């Protein structure tokens, strides 16, 4: 089979390496000349406590893992020049006052969205998978919708918010849900249907531009890819690779179904919202909504259904054995939220949770 390329963007929290305190250092870091040959792989984000990395398009998951690892260490090396480092956390565990990056667009967003923008500080993992055409991309978007909540449960890595345990495995999902264009989507049917939906959103004036289409999965407006945005940034490199592996297999499986004339599942957006909420609330610790049956099942059952759905493609690409092993690791070790809560139970100190997260981020 032709192997689709895949790339990953990761957003990180900038923190003091000793205390875990968030630091608004992105502007200072990115004023430096390219460090270590970053080639523009480090980017600013909405708040100054954020730094983003991006891999190049990869065909093998070994290559992707190396790229993710290199991106994390490149970001950490650049941050160290300003006495800060990075932490792969979906939200900031400690109390923080986000400071908006002073670009014209971000300042307009801060004014328009008021408290939603002022309080927003979240960190995601965005996976880009190559597509052959916009019609193929939209066919993929229509067919992967029921599987995205399971990806969120696997990646959930944001249990703490402003100094307290939120009760959620992914509180990032709750925070992102405050933006007017976020979440699961309807069936679009075609590239023309997708375009019409985006144009209708823009005409409302409730979003500034197409970059503010914060769907859980969308067509990229920069690259010939679908961009799956539902996942929290993963604490561990291996778990980020797992999410990317499953996403690529989902995309290929959906594209094949489209070419074979198989229609997408007719799942209402409200049902997808409920499944997404359950994944954000419980992660892997309680029942998830089964992607096909639409009823609560043990989390492992939902995860196994995702693996079974993508197994033929994973086997063809040579990724099935590795994906099975990484899934077993997540089910045994827990996702990022489980590990962060374990750190907190041991220490009772959210500062130490951040410090431990830095070590896991950089595999120290």
Q: What is the C-alpha separation between 285 and 169, in angstroms, rounded?
A: 9
β-strand 50-54 against 6-15: which pairing, if any? antiparallel
Distance from CA of residue 319 to its chain's centroid?
A: 21
Q: What is the pLDDT along the chain (364 residues), one digit of tens a residue?
A: 689 999 999 999 999 999 999 999 999 999 855 444 445 689 999 999 999 999 999 999 999 999 999 999 999 999 999 999 999 999 999 999 999 999 999 999 999 999 999 999 999 999 999 999 999 999 999 999 999 999 999 999 999 999 999 999 999 999 999 999 999 999 999 999 999 999 999 999 999 999 999 999 999 988 999 999 999 999 999 999 999 999 999 999 999 999 999 999 999 999 999 999 999 999 999 999 999 999 999 999 999 999 999 999 999 999 999 999 999 999 999 999 999 999 999 999 999 999 999 999 999 8
According to the model, what pLDDT value does residue 32 have? 58
Report how many helices (DSSP H) and strands (DSSP E) the chain contains, helices first.
Answer: 13, 11
Q: Residue holding tokens 């992102």? A: 176
Q: Which domain holds residue 332?
A: 6-361
| Cβ pair 53, 13 in contact under 8 A | no
According to the model, what pLDDT value does residue 36 have? 42
According to the model, what pLDDT value does residue 6 have? 98
Does 245 reside within a domain?
yes
Beta bridge partners of 165: 160
For 348, left (φ over 0), alpha (ψ -120 to 50), or beta?
A: left
Please count the structural domains in the chain: 1
Q: What is the C-alpha separation between 235 and 216, in angstroms, rounded?
A: 20
- Please tell me the total number of residues recorded for the chain in this structure: 364
Half-sphere exposure of 83 (CA within 13 A, CB side): 3
Half-sphere exposure of 214 (CA within 13 A, CB side): 16
Residue 129, SS3 per DSSP: strand
258's CB contacts (< 8 A; 6+ apart) are 136, 139, 140, 143
DSSP 180-194: TT-B------SHHHH
Q: Which two tokens stand for residue 304?
A: 């196994």
Q: What is the C-alpha separation between 321 and 343, in angstroms, rounded?
A: 30
According to the model, what pLDDT value does residue 229 have? 98
Q: What is the C-alpha separation between 329 and 1, in angstroms, rounded?
A: 28
Does 352 reside within a domain?
yes
Does 1 reside within a domain?
no
Q: What is the CATH number of the domain that holds 36?
A: 3.30.590.20
């Amino acid at each position: 089979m032709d192997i689709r390329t895949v790339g990953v963007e990761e957003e990180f929290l900038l923190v003091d390496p000793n205390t875990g305190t968030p630091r608004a250092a992105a502007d200072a870091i990115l004023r430096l000349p390219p460090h270590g040959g970053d080639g523009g792989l480090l980017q600013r984000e909405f708040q100054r406590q954020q730094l983003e990395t991006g891999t190049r398009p990869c065909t093998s998951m070994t290559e992707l893992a190396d790229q993710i690892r290199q991106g994390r260490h490149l970001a950490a090396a650049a941050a160290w020049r300003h006495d800060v480092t990075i932490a792969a956390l979906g939200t900031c565990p400690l109390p923080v006052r986000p400071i908006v990056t002073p670009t014209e667009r971000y300042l307009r967003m801060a004014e328009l969205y008021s408290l939603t923008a002022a309080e927003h500080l979240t960190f995601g993992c965005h996976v880009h998978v190559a597509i052959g055409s916009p019609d193929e991309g939209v066919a993929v978007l229509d067919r992967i919708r029921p599987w995205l909540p399971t990806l969120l449960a696997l990646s959930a890595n944001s249990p703490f918010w402003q100094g307290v345990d939120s009760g959620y495995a992914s509180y990032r999902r709750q925070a992102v849900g405050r933006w007017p264009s976020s979440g699961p989507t309807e069936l679009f049917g075609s590239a023309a249907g997708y375009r019409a939906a985006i144009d209708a959103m823009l005409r409302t004036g409730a979003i500034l531009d197409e970059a503010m289409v914060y769907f859980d999965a969308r067509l990229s407006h920069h690259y010939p890819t679908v961009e799956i945005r539902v996942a929290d940034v993963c604490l561990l490199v291996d778990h980020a690779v797992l999410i990317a592996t499953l996403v690529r297999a989902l995309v290929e499986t959906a594209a094949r179904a489209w070419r074979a004339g198989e229609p997408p599942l007719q799942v209402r957006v409200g049902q997808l919202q409920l499944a997404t909420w359950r994944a954000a609330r419980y992660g892997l610790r309680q029942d998830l909504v089964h992607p096909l049956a639409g009823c609560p099942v043990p989390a492992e059952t939902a995860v196994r259904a995702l693996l079974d759905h993508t197994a033929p493609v994973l086997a063809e690409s040579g990724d099935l054995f590795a994906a099975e092993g990484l899934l077993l690791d997540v089910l045994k070790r827990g996702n990022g939220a489980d590990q962060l809560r374990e750190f907190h139970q041991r220490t009772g100190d959210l500062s130490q949770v951040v410090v431990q997260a830095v070590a896991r981020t950089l595999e120290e």
